[in-house]
């Protein structure tokens, strides 16, 4: 049997058990784990909660036993957790690991303050007083404009903003558009006038998941459920464009493993075909769009043959997809996301893909891309109570970063620019709320910056590169321990807005406190107690909900309510919130972008822009011949699931590493790249870029495009993975790795890989 073909089998460590065997055997007749409770006797109840692991708010039905949460599942009919009215609610594997998160023994459960250079645990009063004192002297010495705000997935985010932005007066924050989806959302915002589009999957007949993995990374169960349902009921087509064979590729009708970063060319060619075939929505284009002529001109010579040479996608395939997409329109959607957002040339690529939706007129139409809204607003409790909240951040001096192309026109500070800002003295402090910035961009520079700062305060749950460098660590409560309220938005209810809420189900673990408790205590200490008059977040949410005639308890009892109707084609009534009031193919009317475009010699209309080793991403070469991207998988959300044994084990199990004694992320590499380098699955490998190197374990398989490498982010140095297992790709990321239009971190690095001696464990 050929060595290459011989199947590699998996094994548990053969000699496992030798050491522990004696102690086990000595126990003789071993009774089963006494932890298993006789259920019939225990007090058993179910209650509702909301999942915030990936920030989708899926309704959770939690089983409690004597005040301890022991089991959970999704809430039936929930807008996020189910497929719609009457449908069964489920939770994904991340949501199911909530118990591991809440009861994790590694959780930070007490406040910590830094004394004589060392972090030590403290009582709440002491920690609050200490933090307040440090904040006051910071303000005196540096001014509030030098305090950077950073929020990740906060539960009480509005309280953090109220305290630090409105009251304390810190104007600068790092926006998620520079760590997550800038190219995608900035382009869409300029083209269509609203924040983020999201597909109406459930009703769609032709779906292109473009650098998007909805079967694994979804904003609630409703996405994969909706996609599977429309495939079954409407015989819908799903196309997956991704250099990686994801679970989306698994259920898709087509997997297009495109040459990375060439998505813009593919989109233009598709536009070319659609116009050539006359399948574009003439009426919509005529009445509701601006700049179509520029678009038509831009795609005039972008034939599928032209694109095939660039994208490595068959010209025939390009035609078929374009025609299939356009014929199914308006019940069709081309949806780019993280895959394109992480690219140095991602802005133009996204613009080109977004343009396709305008071209076939599927915007805010059934089965197309949807302008999801809650459709109602909540009461402003401050207004109700006549509390005049100051805006102390307005008018504060902010630094001038005109030497950065994007800083001129993006609202918040770009993540990768923060270390320089610290170096220049523009930022000297940092307040973090449930975020892990050291996985989001230039980690090394950021770590140094944190250490250089005068004051770092964080609300956190696990020890990480940030919390270890903090001056004050406040232990935050998990969703099971705090009240929750969310409205929206994208869900299984295509034409409705909803609200979901839940109360705390268990006492906070250890000494943890809710977001509201933390921020109100801090505010009070700083003399702003009057702005936090509510007893707890429940009272606040209650007042918010009065605007729709509900009480907090009303909603929390039922987990959710469908509140408003949100029609399709909202643009008929309000137009598009853009400069021209229309959907803009050409962004020449967006002043900030137009200026940048001219400066960098780029068209404002859709255009193919390859990485250029200048502003728009670095190319591979002989020395660094492989392209590395890091991203996400279903089992791990962003930067915190890595701390949970359960979640990590499911991830490793997926790739056959459950029993290997290796706890970190894997480098996924195609055999055609691995074989010449003598790399096999399980080998330790070294990934090297011009700016650094990391080491992790390889997983060799055919599911990644040759010449391209993938790894899950959130592991390694500075992460909250136990023992910082695995590798943090962002330690090779530097300030210059930025997409110049949105300021989004560019996570595509040219690298070389080599085998390092030694096995996995």
Partner 1 sequence: MSQWGFYFDPDKCIGCHACSQACTVRNDIDEGDVTWRRVEHVGEGTFPDYEEISISMGCYHCAEPECRDVCPTHALEKRAEDGIVTIEQDRCIGCNYCSYACPYGAIQFGEDGLAQKCHGCLGSGAGDGHGSPPREESETARETPACVDNCVTGALDSGPINELLRGASTAAAEEFRSDDSGPAVVLEPATGTEGVSGDDG
Partner 2 sequence: MMDSPDGLVWLTQQEYGWYIAAYLFFSGLAGGAYVTGFAADVLRVRSTDPAVDRPMYSITRWGTVLALGAVGAGMVFLLVFHLGAPVRALLFPILFVNVGSWLVIGTWIIVLFSAVATLQGLWVVWHENPAGRAAFPRVVTSRIENRFDVPVDSWLARVASRTHPGPRRRLLCSGVGSALALSMIAYTGFKLGDVSATVPLWDGTLLPALFLASALSIGLAATVGVTVLFDGVEGTNVTAFSVADDVVILGEIAVLALFLTTLASGGPGAVSAFGLLTEEYGLVFWGGVVTVGLALPLAISVGLIALERRVDVHASDRLRRLVRGTYTLKFGFVVLGGVALRYLIIAAAYNAPLST
Where along the sequence are the contacts to partner 1 (CB under 8 A)?
12, 20, 24-25, 27, 29-33, 35-36, 39-40, 70-74, 88, 90-93, 96-97, 99, 215-216, 221, 224-225, 228, 245, 247, 249-257, 308, 312-314, 317, 634-635, 645-647, 649-650, 653-655, 658-659, 670-672, 701-706
Of 752, 749, 751, 669, nearest in space to 705 by CA: 669
Q: Is 661 in the site for partner 2 (CB under 8 A)?
A: no
> Which residue lies nearer to partner 1 by CB, 89 or 193?
89
∠ CA 267-325-187, rounded to 5°:
40
C-beta of residue 396 within 8 angstroms of C-beta of residue 145: yes
CB 257 → partner 1: shortest distance, Å?
Answer: 5
Strand partners, 447: none
> Which residue lies nearer to partner 1 by CB, 131 or 506?
506
Q: Is 3 in the site for partner 2 (CB under 8 A)?
A: yes
Strand partners, 384: none
Q: Is 15 in the site for partner 2 (CB under 8 A)?
A: yes
Site for partner 2 in 384-443 (CB under 8 A): none
What does DSSP say about strands 206-210 and 237-241: parallel, antiparallel, or unpaired? parallel
Taking CB under 8 A as the binding criterion, the range among 16-24, 313-321, 501-509, 586-594 that sits at the site for partner 2 is 16-24
CB 7 → partner 2: shortest distance, Å?
Answer: 4
> Which residue lies nearer to partner 1 by CB, 1 or 9?
9
CB 703 → partner 2: shortest distance, Å?
Answer: 6
Q: How far apart are CA 338 and CA 316, in angstroms?
A: 27
> Which residue lies nearer to partner 1 by CB, 257 or 740?
257
Two structure tokens written together for 219: 């904003």
Integer CA distances (angstroms), 166 to 149, 349, 373, in order:
12, 37, 26
Of 623, 761, 749, nearest in space to 684 by CA: 761
Q: What is the radius of gyration, based on Cα positions, of the chain?
A: 26
Of the residues 581, 656, 706, 707, which one makes contact with partner 2 according to CB under 8 A: 656
Q: How far apart are CA 51 and CA 502, in angstroms?
A: 10
Q: What are phi and psi of 144, to 5 degrees?
A: -65, -20
Site for partner 2 in 667-686 (CB under 8 A): 681
CB 651 → partner 2: shortest distance, Å?
Answer: 13
> Which residue lies nearer to partner 1 by CB, 16 or 567?
16
C-beta of residue 78 within 8 angstroms of C-beta of residue 59: yes
Q: How far apart are CA 739 and CA 618, in angstroms?
A: 11
C-beta of residue 758 within 8 angstroms of C-beta of residue 695: no
Taking CB under 8 A as the binding criterion, the range among 28-36, 352-360, 494-502, 625-633 that sits at the site for partner 2 is 28-36
Integer CA distances (angstroms), 219 to 57, 211, 214, 439, 652, in order:
8, 15, 8, 21, 23
Residue 99 contact partner, candidates partner 1, partner 2, none, CB within 5 to 8 A by sort of partner = partner 1
Q: Is 38 in the site for partner 2 (CB under 8 A)?
A: no
CB 340 → partner 1: shortest distance, Å?
Answer: 19
Q: Which residue has the tokens 């060619």?
A: 269
User: Which residue blocks in 110-174 are alpha helix, DSSP H?
Assistant: 124-141, 157-160
Of the residues 655, 662, 708, 718, which one makes contact with partner 2 according to CB under 8 A: 655
Length in residues, the chain:
761
> Which residue lies nearer to partner 2 by CB, 267 or 698?
698
> Which residue lies nearer to partner 2 by CB, 16 or 736?
16
| 188 contacts: CB under 8 Å, gap ≥ 6 | 194, 195, 196, 197, 350, 354
> Which residue lies nearer to partner 1 by CB, 376 or 659?
659
CB 210 → partner 2: shortest distance, Å?
Answer: 24
Residue 681 contact partner, candidates partner 2, partner 1, none, CB within 5 to 8 A by sort of partner = partner 2
Residue 700 contact partner, candidates partner 2, partner 1, none, CB within 5 to 8 A by sort of partner = partner 2
Question: How is residue 27 annotated by DSSP?
Answer: T
> Which residue lies nearer to partner 2 by CB, 599 or 675?
675
CB 322 → partner 1: shortest distance, Å?
Answer: 13
- Maximum alpha-carbon separation in the chain: 83
| 549 contacts: CB under 8 Å, gap ≥ 6 | none
Of the residues 248, 389, 659, 718, which one makes contact with partner 2 according to CB under 8 A: 659
> Which residue lies nearer to partner 2 by CB, 22 or 43?
22
Residue 251 contact partner, candidates partner 1, partner 2, none, CB within 5 to 8 A by sort of partner = partner 1
Bond from prior residue into 489 cis (ω within 30 degrees of 0): yes
C-beta of residue 686 within 8 angstroms of C-beta of residue 695: yes
Q: How far apart are CA 520 and CA 515, in angstroms?
A: 8
- Asked whether the CA dihedral 324, 327, 328, 329 is positive or negative, the reply is positive
Of the residues 250, 277, 287, 702, which one makes contact with partner 2 according to CB under 8 A: 702
Residue 461 contact partner, candidates partner 2, partner 1, none, CB within 5 to 8 A by sort of partner = none
Q: Is 225 in the site for partner 2 (CB under 8 A)?
A: no
Task: Count CB-CB contacts under 10 A for residue 471.
Answer: 20
> Which residue lies nearer to partner 1 by CB, 211 or 497?
211
CB 684 → partner 2: shortest distance, Å?
Answer: 16
Per CB under 8 A, residues contacting partner 2 are 1, 3, 5-12, 14-18, 21-22, 24-25, 28-30, 655-656, 658-659, 681, 699-703
């Amino acid at each position: 049997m050929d060595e290459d073909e011989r199947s590699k089998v998996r094994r548990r460590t053969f000699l496992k058990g030798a050491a522990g065997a004696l102690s086990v055997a000595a126990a003789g007749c071993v009774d089963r784990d006494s932890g298993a409770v006789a259920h019939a006797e225990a007090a058993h109840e179910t209650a509702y909660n909301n999942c915030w692991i990936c920030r989708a708010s899926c309704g959770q039905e939690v089983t409690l036993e004597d005040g301890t949460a022991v089991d959970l599942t999704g809430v039936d009919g929930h807008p996020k957790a189910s497929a719609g009215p009457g449908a069964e609610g489920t939770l994904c594997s991340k949501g199911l690991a909530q118990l591991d998160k809440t009861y994790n023994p590694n959780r930070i459960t007490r406040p910590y303050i830094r004394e004589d250079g060392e972090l030590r645990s403290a009582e709440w009063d002491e920690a609050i007083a200490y933090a307040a004192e440090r904040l006051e002297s910071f303000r005196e010495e540096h001014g509030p404009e030098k305090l950077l705000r950073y929020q990740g997935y906060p539960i009480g985010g509005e309280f953090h903003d109220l305290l630090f932005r409105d009251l304390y007066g810190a104007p600068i924050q790092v926006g998620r558009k520079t760590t997550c989806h800038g190219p995608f959302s900035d382009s869409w915002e300029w083209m269509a006038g609203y924040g983020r589009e999201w597909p109406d999957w459930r009703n769609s007949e032709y779906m292109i998941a473009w650098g998007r993995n909805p079967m694994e990374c979804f904003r609630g169960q409703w996405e994969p459920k909706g996609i599977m349902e429309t495939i079954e009921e409407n015989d819908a087509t799903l196309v997956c464009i991704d250099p990686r064979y994801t679970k989306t590729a698994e259920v898709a009708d087509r997997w297009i493993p495109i040459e990375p970063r060439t998505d813009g060319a593919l989109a233009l060619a598709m536009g070319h075909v659609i116009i050539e075939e006359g399948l574009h929505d003439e009426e919509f284009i005529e009445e509701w769009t601006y700049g179509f002529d520029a678009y038509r001109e831009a795609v005039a010579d972008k034939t599928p043959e032209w694109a095939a040479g660039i994208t490595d996608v068959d010209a025939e395939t390009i035609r078929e997809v374009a025609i299939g997409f356009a014929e199914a329109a308006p019940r069709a959607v081309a949806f780019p996301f993280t895959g394109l957002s992480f690219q140095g040339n991602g802005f133009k690529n996204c613009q080109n893909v977004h343009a396709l939706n305008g071209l076939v007129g599927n915007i805010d139409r059934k089965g197309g891309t949807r302008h999801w809204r809650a459709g109602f607003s909540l009461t402003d409790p401050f207004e109700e109570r006549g509390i005049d909240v100051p805006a102390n951040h307005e008018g504060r001096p902010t630094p001038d970063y005109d030497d950065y192309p994007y800083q001129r026109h993006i609202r918040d500070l770009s993540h990768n620019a923060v270390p320089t800002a610290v170096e220049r003295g523009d930022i000297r402090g940092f307040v973090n709320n449930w975020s892990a910035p050291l996985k989001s961009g230039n980690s090394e520079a950021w770590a140094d910056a944190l250490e250089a700062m005068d004051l770092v305060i964080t609300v956190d749950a696990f020890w990480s590169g940030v919390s270890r460098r903090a001056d004050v660590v406040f232990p935050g409560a998990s969703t099971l321990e705090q009240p929750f309220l969310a409205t929206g938005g994208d869900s299984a209810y295509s034409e409705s807005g909803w609200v979901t809420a839940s109360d705390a189900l268990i006492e906070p673990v250890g000494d943890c406190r809710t977001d509201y408790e933390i921020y109100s205590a801090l505010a009070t200490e700083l003399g702003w107690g009057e702005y936090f008059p509510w007893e707890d977040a429940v009272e606040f949410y209650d007042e918010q909900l009065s605007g729709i005639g509900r009480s907090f308890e009303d909603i929390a009892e039922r987990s959710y309510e469908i509140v408003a109707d949100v029609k399709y084609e909202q643009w008929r009534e309000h137009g598009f919130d853009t400069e021209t009031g229309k959907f803009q193919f050409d962004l020449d009317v967006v002043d900030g972008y137009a200026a940048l475009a001219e400066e960098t010699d780029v068209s404002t209309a859709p255009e193919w822009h390859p990485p250029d080793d200048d502003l728009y991403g670095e190319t591979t070469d002989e020395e660094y011949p492989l392209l590395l991207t890091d991203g996400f998988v279903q089992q791990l959300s962003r930067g915190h699931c890595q701390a949970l044994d359960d979640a990590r084990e499911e991830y490793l199990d997926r790739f056959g590493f459950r029993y290997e004694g290796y706890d970190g992320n894997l480098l996924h590499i195609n055999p055609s790249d691995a074989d010449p380098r003598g790399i096999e699955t399980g080998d330790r490998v070294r990934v090297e870029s011009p700016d650094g190197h990391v080491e992790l374990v390889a997983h060799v398989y055919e599911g990644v495009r040759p010449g391209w490498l993938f790894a899950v982010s959130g592991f390694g140095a500075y992460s909250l993975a136990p023992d910082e297992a695995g590798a943090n790709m962002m330690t090779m990321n530097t300030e210059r790795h930025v997409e110049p239009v949105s300021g989004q971190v560019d996570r595509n690095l040219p690298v070389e890989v080599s085998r390092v001696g030694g096995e996995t464990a």
